[in-house]
Amino acid sequence: MRSLKKPYRRFLSNLDRSRRRGVEIESESSRLTAWRLRLLTEGLISDLWQDWNNFARTVLFMSCQGCNTRNATKIRRRPCDNSFQRIGYEAKRASQDRVIVPGQVNRFRSQEPTWGDMGKVVKIILGLNPTNKNRLISAFGLSVNGPMHLQLVRNACAHKNKETMDAVRKISIHYVSQPLQQPSELVWKLHKKNKTGALYSWISDLQVIAGIVTLS
């Protein structure tokens, strides 16, 4: 039976890569033009956000299909259609508070929800109803800001408009920050509570969640 050890280790490796890239960009920041710094920062945040979503997706799929946790506890598969097409369909409908219709499936991965969206993931878990749902809810529902702040900054970088920028400015109160001109600027600000850079604070939160969600 497949184990959550492999996706966990892969995710930790991806987090370490993002951390190293962050250190590299910071070390070069004084020699970079503003637009090049923004370009590198936005690419870094996009990669980190994709890594988080892929990890969340893998954990939820494996939970539905049956697997072992990192400490060898068996998670029983759901007694229903556990194809990626059906799981993706159920997850999307649950994220939208819509009725899950028997027999319906997705055709494409693009029809799936945003798996790492902390405002939707508990709804998705309840809709999928895997046998380890209580562990999943306790982990993904952990009271940390990293995933949500990462998502808001990533969305503002990808969709630059007044609404997304206002959302980033709203969370900037948690960081030592001058007025922001670009959403990517928040990535390098100091978190007031834990005294580390925003990027590294987010990575730490993601790592904590990953450690909990892959255990029994």
Map residue 79 onto helix, strand or coil.
Answer: coil
Q: What average pLDDT does range 19-40 have in this prediction? A: 97
Tokens for 2?
Answer: 């497949």
Q: What average pLDDT does range 165-184 have in this prediction? A: 96
Is 0.85 surpassed by the pTM of this model?
yes
The model's pLDDT over 115-164, given as tens digits with 9 standing for 90+, comes to 999 999 999 999 999 999 999 999 999 999 999 999 999 999 999 999 99
DSSP sequence for 162-204: HHHHHHHHHHGGGEE-PPPSSGGGGGGSEETTT-SBHHHHHHH
pLDDT of residue 182: 97
Torsion, Cα 122 127 130 134, to 10 degrees, reads 30
Determine the Cα–Cα distance for residues 144 and 128; give it in Å rounded to an integer: 24
Determine the Cα–Cα distance for residues 216 and 212; give it in Å rounded to an integer: 8
The model's pLDDT over 43-77, given as tens digits with 9 standing for 90+, comes to 999 999 999 999 999 999 999 999 999 999 999 99
CB 125 within 8 A of CB 149: no
**What does the H/E/C string look like for 52-107?**
HHHHHHHHHHHHHHCEECCCCCEECCCCCCCCHHHHHHHHHHHHCCCCCCCCCCCC
CB atoms within 10 A of CB 42: 19
The model's pLDDT over 97-110, given as tens digits with 9 standing for 90+, comes to 999 999 999 999 99
The model's pLDDT over 146-159, given as tens digits with 9 standing for 90+, comes to 999 999 999 999 99
Determine the Cα–Cα distance for residues 22 and 44; give it in Å rounded to an integer: 8
Determine the Cα–Cα distance for residues 82 and 197; give it in Å rounded to an integer: 40
CB 154 within 8 A of CB 142: no
| pLDDT at residue 178 tops 90 | no
